[in-house]
């Protein structure tokens, strides 16, 4: 869904849509499950920079909610989560600030987004908003055992043999032998 500035100049546009999985590519960070519901309003806000310098910003306000699969931070198995958030964003035409690179950018200005040419894509905005709403760390369960760092086995499903190491009697015999070899090598040097 594209919001065209010249259409928004006529009147604000209200929207209430369901986006099917695949309409937005969230990359490997999240996979959409079922429809993503998004509703809100788009309007033009005129930024008066001077008597003849008026910039048409697009204000996009609304909310979204949808179900997603994200990888567990420890075992990378998919975890089902629901993401929902409100947004109230301002987008300035990209060209408006292109010649003003000398202007100092104050903190609030860094929060402003940009739209290219004469329209803003709802899908582009939503992709960013959904990714921003992702929890920093999702676990499939609080005590997820994660993947074995040596063989990559999912330790929730199967216990691998990697940790046997020193407690295995065969290893103890070997390390004892290694100790004997080392002491034999070192002792002649002492004499
Ligand atoms: Zn896990
Ligand atoms: Zn292992």
| Each residue's pLDDT tens digit, 115-146 | 988 999 999 999 999 999 999 999 999 999 99
Is the pLDDT assigned to residue 80 strictly greater than 50? yes
- What is the pLDDT, as a whole number, of residue 189? 45
Angle at alpha carbon of residue 57, lines to 54 and 62, rounded to 5°: 155
Q: How far is the CA of 20 from the centre of ligand 2 (A)?
A: 39
Q: Which residues pair with 121 in a beta bridge?
A: 2
**Confidence band of 67 (pLDDT split at 50, 70, 90):** very high
Which of 18 and 177 is assigned the larger pLDDT? 18
Q: What is the pLDDT of residues 85-100, one digit of tens each?
A: 999 999 999 888 766 5
Q: How far is the CA of 151 from the centre of ligand 1 (A)?
A: 16
**Confidence band of 66 (pLDDT split at 50, 70, 90):** very high
End-to-end CA gap in the chain: 86
- What is the pLDDT, as a whole number, of residue 187? 45
Between CA 180 and CA 31 the distance in angstroms is 57
pTM attached to this predicted model: 0.74
Around ion ligand 1, residues with a beta carbon closer than 5 Å are 72, 74-75, 140, 144
Quick one: 173 exposed, middle or buried, by C-beta within 10 A (0-12, 13-18, 19+)? exposed
Q: For strand 78-93 and strand 113-115, is the pairing parallel, antiparallel, or unpaired?
A: parallel
Q: How far is the CA of 75 from the centre of ligand 2 (A)?
A: 13
Name the average pLDDT for the chain. Answer: 84
Are 58 and 43 contacting, i.e. CB atoms less than 8 angstroms apart? yes
Q: Using alpha carbons, select from 55, 58, 48, 54 the residue that is nearest to residue 7.
A: 58
Is residue 60 within a helix (H) or strand (E), and if so which, with residue range? strand 53-71
Q: How far is the CA of 157 from the centre of ligand 2 (A)?
A: 12
**Confidence band of 49 (pLDDT split at 50, 70, 90):** confident
Quick one: 87 exposed, middle or buried, by C-beta within 10 A (0-12, 13-18, 19+)? middle
Q: What is the pLDDT of residues 151-175, one digit of tens each?
A: 999 999 998 988 655 554 555 555 5
Percent of the chain whose predicted confidence (pLDDT) is above 70: 77
Say which residues have a Cβ less than 8 Å from residue 12's Cβ, sequence separation at least 6: 41, 42, 43, 44
Q: For strand 53-71 and strand 119-121, is the pairing parallel, antiparallel, or unpaired?
A: unpaired
């Amino acid at each position: 869904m594209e919001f065209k500035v010249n259409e928004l100049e006529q009147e604000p546009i209200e929207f209430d849509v369901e986006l099917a999985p695949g309409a937005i590519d969230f990359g490997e960070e999240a996979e959409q499950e079922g429809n993503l519901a998004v509703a809100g309003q788009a309007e033009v806000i005129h930024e008066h920079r001077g008597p003849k310098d008026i910039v048409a910003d697009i204000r996009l306000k609304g909310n979204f909610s949808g179900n997603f699969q994200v990888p567990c931070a420890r075992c990378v198995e998919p975890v089902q989560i629901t993401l929902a958030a409100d947004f109230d964003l301002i987008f300035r035409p990209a060209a408006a600030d292109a010649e003003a690179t000398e202007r100092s950018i104050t903190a609030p200005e860094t929060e402003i987004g940009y739209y290219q040419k004469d329209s803003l894509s709802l899908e582009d905005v939503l992709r960013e908003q959904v990714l921003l709403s992702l929890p920093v760390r999702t676990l499939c369960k609080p005590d997820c055992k994660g993947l074995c760092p040596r063989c990559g086995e999912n330790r929730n499903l199967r216990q691998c043999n990697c940790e046997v190491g020193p407690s295995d009697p065969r290893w103890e015999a070997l390390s004892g032998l290694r100790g004997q070899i080392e002491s034999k090598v070192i002792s002649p040097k002492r004499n």
